[in-house]
Amino acid sequence: MEFIKDFSVIFFATCRDVTPIVLLIAVFQLLVLRQKIPHLKRVVIGGVYVVLGLALFLAGLEKALFPLGKIMATQLSDPAFIYGTADKILTHADWTAYGWIYLFAAMIGFATTIAEPSLIAVAYKANEVSAGTISTWGLRITVAIGVAFGISLGTFRIVSGTPLYLYILVGYLIVIVQTIFAPKSIVALAYDSGGVTTSTVTVPLVAALGLGLASTVPGRNPALDGFGLIAFASLFPIIAVMGYAQLMEWKTKRRKK
Amino acid sequence: MIVAAILKKLKNACTDLLPIVLVIAFFQIIVIRQPLPQIGEVLFGTLLIVLGLSLFIQGLEMGLFPIGEAMAQALARKGSLFWLLIFSFSLGFSTTVAEPALIAVAAKAADIAGRGALIDPSPESLKSYAFGLRMSVAFSVGLAILIGVLRILRGWPIHYLIIGGYVLVMLMTTIAPKEIIGIAYDAGGVTTSTITVPLVAALGVGLASTIRGRSPLTDGFGLIAFASLLPMIFVMGYGLLIFK
């Protein structure tokens, strides 16, 4: 019974989120374009599937993954777990003691990105548009590796307390240099893959990890240091996707010689 | 045929979810060494996720992609730049303004700004700050999609715009109050929701494949990139304007 109540709350919230989009499309179809939508019945059924599917997906995440992921993030960042003793008074963080955190960050970043519905959608489109040259799984795995590296580095930043903008600045410089040399056809898709990685699945888990770390690492302020992980997760996939395209181009060139 | 398609979707969804299950099991059993709490709830939840993901992807192919592309093509054929730009802006604005992740981030940002004595810490002032922040992010996403669509129409190279945006972000970072920077960077990532992304991708690809001389791959993508870049600039700009 309780589940049905929870599910209806999520279902209505999803409907509310979709309402502006439905209104916008309806207004444009009826008032501006004034023509029939092709295969209207199919599209409407598809729309219902999307809303129902998303609501089920979110309900499942709330029930299974988020509580578990958040508990794990807190347990792993607990000083008692990291330093082995609970009663030692810590004045500064030793960044070498946080190995499990970096590994957890990388693995959870990779795993949540693989399950991210927006990325599946973009990979599907990219595969269709490139006539199969860009494989769906190739793109998704490359992006996931980028996110894994980004979040892992992001947790290192929180532990070490180094300023966020320095990392972002260096990341931007790498992106700019890569843009000059990367194959032109991949650039737009690479930029896009930065934005799609962080949504329904990744954000809540990663935010919990960041805030958990910032509130347990000595000398960190959750308000200042807890944020920024998502920025890492949107920057590194760009580098990964362009890097992968460059690697492929280089391999093809070498084979031709 | 429908049954076969659904079975295939279910199988794919299981594959998509497998890495998360493995990671959690590994850390729970090997590293933390504690039994899984409420195993029944977790299994039931996982089943819901698999079902939901399969339905979502099925609906994506049947509904969201076709409608996005059909609208892009109809608008392009109508040939009215005005309506196309209005549509682009409204799509970005309306899908962002009600986004739950954004509402959460805005409330958090107001809280931090209030505690840091950057704004008046009374509840009304916090509320109006959070509202203003949400409006500026939604406006910036609308503007981003508009600029992105204009880029597809005119064929401007994407990298000049993005690199220009990066330079602006860095410049703003040097002058913006440091409390706002982390949130501003994150705001870029949270604005693009699961339903917006497929629609926006279909809009871009649909436009690029209708207009002669544009390639769907090089020109059709890039809208989402703008939508995650502009909010950073606007959130820092909002911080500069409001903070005393």
Largest Cα separation within chain A, whole Å, is 72
Q: For the residues of A149-190, what is the DSSP string, one character each?
A: HHHHHHHHHHHHT--HHHHHHHHHHHHHHHHHHS-HHHHHHH
CB pairs under 8 A between A and B: 330
Integer Cα distance of B222 and B152 in angstroms:
9
pLDDT, position B33: 75
pLDDT in tens, B74-133: 888 887 888 899 999 999 998 888 777 778 778 877 777 777 677 777 888 888 888 888
B33: left (phi over 0), alpha (psi -120 to 50) or beta: left
Stretch B5-20: mean pLDDT, rounded?
86
- Spell out the alpha helix ranges (H) of chain B: 2-26, 39-59, 65-78, 81-97, 100-115, 123-154, 158-175, 178-190, 196-210, 216-220, 223-242
Q: Which residues contact B199 (CB under 8 A, 6 or more apart)?
A: A21, B64, B67, B68, B91, B95
pLDDT, position A106: 93
From chain B residues 131-190, the ones with a CB under 8 A of any chain A CB are 158-159, 162-163, 166, 169-170, 173, 178-179, 181-183, 185-186, 188-190
A131: left (phi over 0), alpha (psi -120 to 50) or beta: left
The chain B residue lying nearest A227, using CA atoms, is B182
CA distance A108 to chain B (A): 7
Residue entry with tokens 């220009």: B164
pLDDT, position B3: 76
B67 reaches A (C-beta below 8 A): yes
ipTM of the assembly? 0.85
Beta carbons of B53 and A231 less than 8 Å apart: no
Q: Which residues contact B161 (CB under 8 A, 6 or more apart)?
A: B147, B151, B226
DSSP E strand boundaries for chain A: none
pLDDT along chain A (257 residues), means of 10: 81 85 86 80 90 89 80 77 60 73 90 90 90 89 95 90 88 93 90 82 80 78 74 91 90 83
pLDDT, position A87: 53
Integer Cα distance of A63 and A134 in angstroms:
35
Helix (H, G, I), strand (E, B) or coil at B8: helix
A44 reaches B (C-beta below 8 A): yes
Stretch B140-168: mean pLDDT, rounded?
92
Rg, Å, chain B Cα set: 21
pLDDT band with cut points at 50, 70 and 90 for residue B238: confident
Could you tell me how many residues make up chain B?
Answer: 244
A30 reaches B (C-beta below 8 A): no
Q: Which residues contact A7 (CB under 8 A, 6 or more apart)?
A: A55, A56, A59
Print burial letters for A150-169: b (CB count within 10 Å at least 16), e (below 16).
bbbbbbbbbbebeebbebbe
Of B49, B63, B75, the CB nearest to A43: B63
The domain segmentation of chain A, as residue ranges, is 1-63, 78-256
From chain B residues 192-211, the ones with a CB under 8 A of any chain A CB are 192-199, 201-202, 205, 209
Integer Cα distance of B200 and A159 in angstroms:
37
Kindly state the percentage of chain B with pLDDT values over 70: 96
